[in-house]
Structure 1
Amino acid sequence: MNRFFAFHTGFRSLSLCVLLWTTAQAAMSQTDHVERRYQYAVRFIQQKDYVKAKAELRPLTEIRTSGIAPYAHYYHALADFNLKRFSESRLMLKQLIDRFPDWKKMDDAYYLLGAAFFENGQYEEGIENLSRIGDPALKPDVSKLQTYYFSQINDLNRLKLMQKEFPNNRELALALIDQIQRTSTAPADLELSDRLTNRFGVPGVSRPVTTEASSSTATVARPEKNRNKGYYNVAVLFPFRLNDINPEERARSNQYALDLYNGMRLAKTKLQSEGITVNLFAYDVDNDGTKMTTLVNNPGFIQNDLLIGPLYAEPNRIATEFANQNNVLLVNPISTSSELVVNQPLAFLANASLNQQALKTVAFARTLSMVKKAAIYYGNTRKDSTLAALYQNELKRIGYTVQDFRKVGSSDLEAIRLSETNKPGHIFLVSSDESTGAKLLRLLTQRKVEVPVIATSSAFNFDKDPLSTFSKSDLYLVYPEFVDPERPGSDEFEELYLDQRNMIPSMYAYQGYDMLLFFGRMLARTRGQITNRSQLKATPEEGYLLSGYDYTASNDNQVVPIVKYDGTRFTLIK
């Protein structure tokens, strides 16, 4: 039997029974010879002997006055279809439609004709014929038929042209969304996917059910979340700013969002190789709560298993509320604010919070010196001052003395109160000014202040600072974005990314890859039901490119990478 009819056996068998019963009534007025020949043909159809069936049916298609004639046409076309003679099947069906326009089973003819056009790749003609079907009972079968054939189309441009011609066809829109999410990161395609998703939902999600609430109003029933569907839907809620993209510009304000997403796309492929199917759906969500409200009110949005983003406060608040109400995981990919996950059991930070960075760095500093005195210097940004304050508070909590706590810039480092005879047990520098780190190290050398220095990686310019800058034996960097080129899989990722995107992956691309890889695996392990935190930790064997994830104690990542230059390269020491 043809692959399509094997797929839709239930509908075709029902159709056959209906047609047989109706035909039996019509045949009562025919001659015994005609009736007997028709019954032989039907028996051959049931036995899948389509050649013999056609031999019996062919003469019956010429008896135009017979009540059996339209049925003979239909079964002759069905036999041709199953013999994969689709052109002949279409010709017989068109003859049926021309000769018997009032045949009461015409919807079956349009259904078969649509399938025959689809088999020859004539999708537009197939859609047009299926649209002529008026029986509501056949609509589910029409939907399955279109879904099956549209999923075979791998030409993105063909799908876009078809969707433009048939803008109200839901199955076509869903096939286009799926194709874009699997094969394209072009801004215009992502915008189109976003629009279609807002209107039609996501692939794999049933059409919203409308029920009458009264004679004048209707309500949309939100579908139940299906946790046994065999795949996971991930909504990526980033400020892609598609309308503002200038293809000629290389440095785009939204490049980090595109890089994160492109890294996720490679992780999706990796997960698929592990038997974990993830569907990515990109939404252009900027600092606008209205857009996020529209999304969460879309009935199909509940079928997402994981939300990544949004990145701004108000959309994130709306998304978090939705996640809590519907038991959906939510990850903020770049924030370091622990406030986003406090009392939010389903919300996670992909990065370590500033509070976690302070705690882990203080614990490391205690291993460097027995002297319980420290000097803390910080830069001009809010992030710098916040981390410095958290570090100071933790030091004081464990009994340390903060000898100097000062805001500094690269131009006023001379004001720090350190000397060979007035020095702390260690120094902590947190600065977003990448020229500050090297200048501080030179100043310490001049003043002969030889103590361990812990600095944030953002205080250095790794492209311009010579490697000798980092050769100080007791210099350590808090480096959340550290990518170790020696890690297994790092070269492969870079080559694959370069091949697909024609650019070297940024730190955000690595983050996007690791983040989806980890949370995709976590979804598969827990099916989105976090009941055992011992599972929420990455292991070295799992092949992450960055430093990993650990949520065994809290919802912000407890992994805080600290690296050191060993004379040839930077290595992770904690």
Structure 2
Amino acid sequence: MLLTFTRWRWLALICLGLWLPPLAALAQAPAAKPAASPTAKPTAAKPMASPAAPKSAASKPALPRPAASGAPAAPAAPRRYPPGEQGAHYRLGKTALDQDNFEMARRELEPLTAPDARFARAADATYLSAVAATRLSQWAEAEQLLNLLRHEYPTYPNLPDVLLLQGQVSFEQSDFDTALRALTELPDTTLAAERENLKAAYLPRLKDRATWQRLLARHPQDAALGRAAAEFLVAAGSETDRAQLDQLVARFSLDRRRYVIRPTPRAARKASYNVAVLLPFELNDPSWQTQRKNQFVTDLYAGLRLAQDSLQRAGRPVQLFAYDTGADTLTLKGVLALPELAGMDLLVGPIYKSGARLLARYAQQHQIACVNPLSQDAALVADNPWHYLFSASATTQGREAAQFAFSTVGGGRPAIILHEDSKDEADFALAYQVAYEALGGRVAARRPFNPAADESVAAAFAGLDLAGAGHIVVASDSYRAGRQTFTALRAVPAAQRPALLAPGAWLDSPRLEPTQLGTGVTYLVHPKYFDAAAPGYRRFRAQYLERQRLPPSVFAGTGYELLLYFGQLLHQYGPSFQAGLSVEPVVPGAVFSGLGYPDGAHDNQHVPFTKLERLDVQVLNPPLPR
């Protein structure tokens, strides 16, 4: 077995959650509108990505790096090296990998991976290229390379290392089934410590109860899985889980004193709760440009204030304390240094991602629940029991959309996924593919595009077999994407035209005709859907108009719904409402379609799907009434 002398380093790094595949050793292996501005309190300033590969100990010549750009360059078309040059390109790729120049490593090694290249060390080149892809967080590409390696080179002597890397790649894509299946293929005594530490690092990220149950049924004797499942059941704190928890404790000889579901302690009831609102009001800049740019912030705060009044009338008062975090993290750090902030019962904000990470750490350290009002990034709330997203994350939207499509359209014909080249849309597309394939469906193509460039949008549709697809998913609010989608679908005979899953935002685009969305089999992913005719929304709109003299924006609705929901939780369960929240069902919202964080979820799990019927929007999955 090769690479043995480097494994001590793996074990130490896995214990820190930083697993690294063997690189240096493999390189030597043999072949094979504004609302009223808030009165902000003065601030002090105003009165985990994938690990890098190890450096090689040997001195290596510096390699040229590609020029920085706003987005990674599209991969070049596959090349072929003359047989006499293959070895030199292989060595150059290994050197690039050792010098952390992962893009160059992939570029040099990729042509050597194809079986028809007839390179003697194609298996090594494929593995190293997969490692470089993981360092670039190109998880889907890494998985393709690993699948190629296992299929074309089944006798590869470093196959255990391939299986271990496959486990990490699948875990990173939230494909827990494939990850555990790959790790199970490892012999019991091979890389045992590394395998168990990999499970220990990733299994706690799983928050979906149904997935837990499926994994336990498929791997009933996996001790690491059993321990992680027991931790999940204890954290969920539901009495209905007690019997299963007892089974896990007995099966895996766990400490019964540790794995106990205890009644949720009720904090001493308070007459009123304090809520800190940390938003970039930028009150020090009264220019019209800043005020216009920050319209959504003042709308959001106006919604919060209106919800405060509603809670007061309902006998559930909360006190709002507004803090101007400015547009930089330095100002936010000044706010977080204020001693009074540690006495708050709930934190709301901030807006920008860098500030969100800071506030998330503060919330965890001081054990104060924090709700991000706008973000859809599931990574922000991973492994933090005190941090929530008000919205459904892009990952949740993708997973729920796949389940909806499979149950509605069916999985007999493949799906096609097109998405913007941005993080949220990429997360949606990946989660969609993983969930759809886990259900037994097949994805024929998944392509990114630049929504600002007509040629990029057109290229994404080029060569697609739309007539052979069961449905097409387009993850982009851009009108260009909508226009190109309808152009492409019109070219397909009506009898063979696939169903369409599109963003609900297309309904609000003045450049897209509603009649287009009402033709054919078109479904809309509508996370911010609200029924303007519903009594709750009409009451909210009338109150907002009375106070602000303007109709409410979606941001005002967000602020209103957020504080109304979490303010009620504070009065029901106290500041540590996590366990109580996890057993609350998904319920209709006062403004939006629904809200719910069941089974320990930290983002809204209700994703409305709608359909246009005679220009009337119909919700296909409304939550049950309260």
Please name the residue that 1:426 is paired with. 471
The CA deviation at 1:388 is 1.7
Tell me, yes or no, if structure 1 residue 441 matches structure 2 residue 486. yes
Give the gaps of 5 or more residues in structure 2.
1-33, 48-266, 622-626
Q: Distance in 2 between matches of 1:372 and 1:526?
A: 47
Change (3 A) 1:467 1:432: closer
Q: Partner letter of residue 304 of structure 1?
A: M
Change (3 A) 1:326 1:385: closer
Q: Distance in 1 between matches of 2:396 and 2:412?
A: 23
Q: Distance in 1 between matches of 2:363 and 2:423?
A: 29
The CA deviation at 1:250 is 9.8
3-state SS of the aligned residue for 2:293?
coil
Please name the residue that 1:300 is paired with. 340
> Considering only CA atoms, is the larger Rg found in Structure 1 or Structure 2?
1
Q: Distance in 2 between matches of 1:524 and 1:467?
A: 43
Please name the residue that 2:587 is paired with. 539
Matching of residues 55-454 of structure 1 within 5 Å: 186-187=36-37, 190-191=39-40, 193-194=41-42, 228-247=269-288, 252-367=292-407, 368-408=409-449, 409=451, 410-411=454-455, 412-413=457-458, 415-418=461-464, 422-448=467-493, 449-454=496-501
The CA deviation at 1:501 is 1.5
Q: Distance in 2 between matches of 1:288 and 1:382?
A: 22
3-state SS of the aligned residue for 1:371?
coil
- Give CA deviations for 1:321-365 in whole Å, capped at 9, x if unaligned: 322232211001111111111111111100111111111001001
The CA deviation at 1:227 is 5.4
Contact 2:506 2:512 in 1 (8 A): no
Q: Percent of aligned pairs with the same residue?
A: 29
Please name the residue that 1:58 is paired with. none
Change (3 A) 1:349 1:233: same
Q: Distance in 2 between matches of 1:416 and 1:455?
A: 19
Q: Partner letter of residue 558 of structure 2?
A: Q
Bigger RCO of structures 1 and 2 (CA < 8 A, at least 6 apart): 2
- Give CA deviations for 1:444-464 in whole Å, capped at 9, x if unaligned: 122224221101234564334
3-state SS of the aligned residue for 1:512?
helix
3-state SS of the aligned residue for 2:321?
strand
Q: Distance in 2 between matches of 1:305 and 1:197?
A: 23
Contact 1:329 1:528 in 2 (8 A): yes
Tell me, yes or no, if structure 1 residue 548 matches structure 2 residue 594. yes
The CA deviation at 1:251 is 7.3
- Give CA deviations for 1:383-430 in whole Å, capped at 9, x if unaligned: 32332222223333333222122234544437433457x421111111
- Give CA deviations for 1:230-267 in whole Å, capped at 9, x if unaligned: 111111111112223435x6971111111111111111
Q: Distance in 2 between matches of 1:475 and 1:251?
A: 38
Q: 540, 550, 556: which is aligned to 1:509?
A: 556
Q: Partner letter of residue 324 of structure 1?
A: Q
Q: Partner letter of residue 413 of structure 1?
A: A
The CA deviation at 1:278 is 0.9
- Give CA deviations for 1:150-173 in whole Å, capped at 9, x if unaligned: xxxxxxxxxxxxxxxxxxxxxxxx
Please name the residue that 2:565 is paired with. 518
Q: Distance in 1 between matches of 2:309 and 2:510?
A: 32
Contact 1:435 1:460 in 2 (8 A): no
3-state SS of the aligned residue for 1:252?
helix
Contact 2:36 2:302 in 1 (8 A): no
Contact 1:436 1:460 in 2 (8 A): no
Q: Distance in 2 between matches of 1:487 and 1:456?
A: 22
C-alpha RMSD of matched pairs (Å): 2.7
Matching of residues 453-492 of structure 1 within 5 Å: 453-459=500-506, 461-492=508-539
The CA deviation at 1:492 is 2.3
Q: Partner letter of residue 332 of structure 1?
A: N
Count residues with an aligned counterpart.
359
Q: Partner letter of residue 190 of structure 1?
A: T
Q: Which moved more, 1:349-358 or 1:499-508?
A: 499-508
What TM-score do you get using the length of structure 2 for normalisation?
0.53
Change (3 A) 1:241 1:198: closer
Give the gaps of 5 or more residues in structure 1.
1-183, 200-225
Q: Partner letter of residue 437 of structure 1?
A: G
Q: Partner letter of residue 590 of structure 2?
A: Y
